[in-house]
Amino acid sequence: PRLGERWAELVELPLMVLASFLVARWLVQRFRLVTVMQCIGTGLPALLMMLSAELAVMRFQGQSLGEYLAGRDPVSGMAYLFSLLLFAAMPLLVRQQAVNRP
């Protein structure tokens, strides 16, 4: 509460991206995701599940989609949107890192 909603979300964001990176790295190694389609087939459903959970919480709180979007902070909201795209692409990014490593 002392930081405010914007700063709280912005402070949390790098931790969530780090968690996404660590889980994606584990998934790529554990399940040997080597093709682009395997990585997309992992990241896209994960994004859909994340958005489904977000929408379920929003509806549980009695908000419409319009109310939810209107109530988002423009700065932290855009950062959150970018982090969602990173979340979906993380298996592919981690795979690229493993492929480019000597």
The CA-atom distances, in angstroms, between 2 and each of 6, 7, 8, 11, 76 are 11, 9, 9, 13, 16
Q: What is the pTM of this model?
A: 0.89
Q: Tens digit of pLDDT for each residue in 7-66?
A: 999 999 999 999 999 999 999 999 999 999 999 999 999 999 999 999 999 999 999 999
